[in-house]
Chains A and B, each alone.
Chain A
Amino acid sequence: NAGVTQTPKFQVLKTGQSMTLQCAQDMNHNSMYWYRQDPGMGLRLIYYSASEGTTDKGEVPNGYNVSRLNKREFSLRLESAAPSQTSVYFCASNIKDPGEQYFGPGTRLTVT
């Protein structure tokens, strides 16, 4: 039981490049979330998926797209990376209650 896994762990991109962050959970959770964490800002919700086949915008969705591929997997795509997207990205999941979330190890992304 791996919990929530994320790939890659680290990534450096040049401005304008694209990439997809992968997230998978093996806990049979319904809801999945993507957050970014910047110094002094706490965790900010980018997108979430309450169930397979649905996605909704969070607080900071601009510049990102998501796909809920199946119940296990929820990916985050940066189509044209910008330096402002330099951050640590966390994926999380939970079965029903929004608060008891389980987090992945994070992806540290640097855009130069």
Chain B
Amino acid sequence: QKEVEQNSGPLSVPEGAIASLNCTYSDRGSQSFFWYRQYSGKSPELIMFIYSNGDKEDGRFTAQLNKASQYVSLLIRDSQPSDSATYLCAVNGEYGNKLVFGAGTILRVKS
């Protein structure tokens, strides 16, 4: 079983809609959760992080964490074509000093 699971997609949403990206993890001791965005042919860049249960909002992005269910999600409101990318979920590893990445979800926003 992979430590961090994501649906590979592609997830297709129309422009202006809400995109919902999901991630589950296996290590109950994980404390930190991150979302990276990666455009095709580019390197990953951090867009959100969350440490506590609940929601964290930053502009059009909302990260949601449920540690009991070992589930973290990213909502993108008012999706734009420029949001089309692969979104990588990352969780801190066993000893807290390494990240474990999911395989990523491809998001396509159609205008």
Contacts and interface: CB of A to CB of B under 8 A. Distances in A.
B43 A45 contact: no
Interface residues of B, number: 24
B69 to A, nearest CB: 20
Interface class of chain A by DSSP: loop
Contacts of A99: 32-34, 46, 49, 90, 92, 99
A100 B101 contact: no
A42 B46 contact: no
B46 to A, nearest CB: 6
Interface residues of A, number: 24
A49 to B, nearest CB: 11
B99 A90 contact: no
Contacts of A102: 46
Interface in A64-112: 90, 97-106
Interface string B18-52: 00000000000000111000000011111001000
B94 to A, nearest CB: 11
Nearest to A44: B101
12 contacts: A33-B98, A35-B101, A40-B8, A41-B103, A42-B102, A50-B97, A98-B93, A98-B96, A99-B92, A100-B46, A103-B43, A105-B42
Interface of A: 31, 33, 35, 40-45, 48, 50, 58-59, 90, 97-106
Sorted nearest first, the 5 A-B pairs with minimum C-beta distance are A103-B43, A42-B103, A43-B101, A99-B34, A42-B101
